[in-house]
């Protein structure tokens, strides 16, 4: 398996990692089989989160069987305060059946207010630093769908890794990755298949790995077949030829007519709707088949797609000319 160093962390990781969202759909026995298959295929990086329902617990069962020492383990938490993060770190350690976690990340920091809270005196970052000093975690990272937040994180000196969506249709972070790499931060690519929207997984992964600033891509997988297919990209790594590049870029262009890159330029919505997150939940529902989980998270939004009054202000700001009003109607029809 092709390996790269995750920035200055010193962690040598497989270029294909394991995204822990879809494992929620399988039972304990199947989860153990999946983790064992990762080891067989040379995939040594696993990324999960407290918010992925039973993902940590299932992965923990698999690690116990396949050998914790064979893997570099990352998880993350949505809590923003000091005590909440202290509690979540302990829960993660218990769930994952491990004495330490290689990388613990602040999960999906979305706004400047959230960012300022997590780095503040009573913020989650303080708890992560304390846990690192005690050896409970080895490295600290941050994830977001907002370029501005990660730009702050990169320049702060507080973090060792970043995680952001990247694929042939979502390329807005290329300069961000370059800057992160120059400062020694590791780059983790989430949504390498655009949340399941890209059908040609192999070409998408190979496209991503051509970027020298990327450390690892973490497609979500819930079957042995998916693991073997995706692992083959790293085990038999080769660059795209002209025909393959033309094929994947053509698919990206087609998706671009109704695909949100979560750049955030559509904000602010007069109705207070977080537009990119509406599309994110719809993607989890329709493409990841995480219907109950997506509906539960969507129900927690204060302002939903159904609150759209079709003023159209968002569409005038969208750099990709997306039919946002039409897309929000679709979300409302699916999620309520």
Nearest-angstrom CA–CA distance, 235 and 244: 18
Structural contact between residues 124 and 80, judged by C-beta atoms closer than 8 angstroms: yes
Say what angle helices 112-119 and 124-133 make with each other, to 10 degrees: 40
Residue 136 is given by DSSP the state S
Using DSSP's 3-state secondary structure scheme, residue 259 falls into: coil
Round to whole Å and give the CA distance between 39 and 62. 10
The token pair at 183 is 């400062």
Q: Does 52 participate in catalysis according to the annotation?
A: yes
Cα 153–72–207 angle (5° rounding)? 70
CA neighbours closer than 13 Å in the CB half-sphere of residue 150: 31
For residues 211 and 329, give the distance between their C-alpha atoms in angstroms, rounded to a whole number.
36
Q: Which residues are designated catalytic?
A: 52
């Amino acid at each position: 398996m092709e390996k790269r160093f995750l920035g200055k962390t010193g962690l040598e990781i497989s270029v294909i990692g394991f995204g822990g969202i879809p494992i929620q759909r399988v039972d304990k026995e199947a989860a153990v089989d999946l983790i064992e298959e990762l080891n067989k295929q040379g995939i040594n990086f696993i990324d999960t989160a407290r918010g992925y329902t039973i993902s940590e617990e299932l992965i923990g069962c698999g690690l116990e069987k396949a050998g914790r020492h064979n893997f570099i383990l990352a998880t993350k938490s949505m809590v923003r305060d000091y005590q909440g993060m202290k509690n979540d770190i302990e829960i993660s350690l218990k769930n994952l059946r491990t004495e330490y976690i290689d990388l613990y990340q602040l999960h999906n920091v979305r706004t400047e207010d959230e960012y300022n809270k997590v780095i503040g005196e009573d913020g989650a970052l303080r708890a992560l630093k304390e846990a690192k000093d005690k050896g409970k975690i080895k490295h600290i990272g941050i994830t977001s769908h907002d370029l501005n937040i990660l730009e702050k994180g990169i320049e702060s000196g507080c973090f060792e890794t970043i995680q952001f969506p990247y694929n042939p249709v979502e390329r807005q972070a290329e300069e961000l990755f370059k800057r992160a790499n120059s400062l020694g931060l590791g780059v983790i690519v989430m949504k390498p298949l655009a949340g399941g929207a890209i059908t040609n997984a192999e070409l998408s992964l190979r496209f991503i790995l051509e970027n020298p600033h990327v450390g690892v891509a973490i497609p979500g997988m819930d079957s042995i077949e998916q693991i073997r297919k995706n692992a083959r990209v790293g085990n038999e790594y080769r660059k795209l030829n002209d025909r393959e590049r033309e094929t994947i870029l053509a698919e990206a262009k087609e998706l671009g007519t109704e695909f949100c890159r979560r750049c955030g330029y559509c904000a602010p919505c007069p109705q207070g709707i977080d537009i990119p997150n509406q599309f994110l939940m719809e993607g989890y529902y329709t493409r990841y088949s995480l219907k109950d989980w997506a509906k539960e998270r969507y129900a927690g939004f204060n302002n939903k797609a159904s609150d759209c009054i079709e003023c159209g202000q968002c569409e005038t700001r969208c750099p990709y000319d997306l039919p946002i009003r039409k897309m929000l109607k679709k979300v409302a029809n699916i999620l309520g």
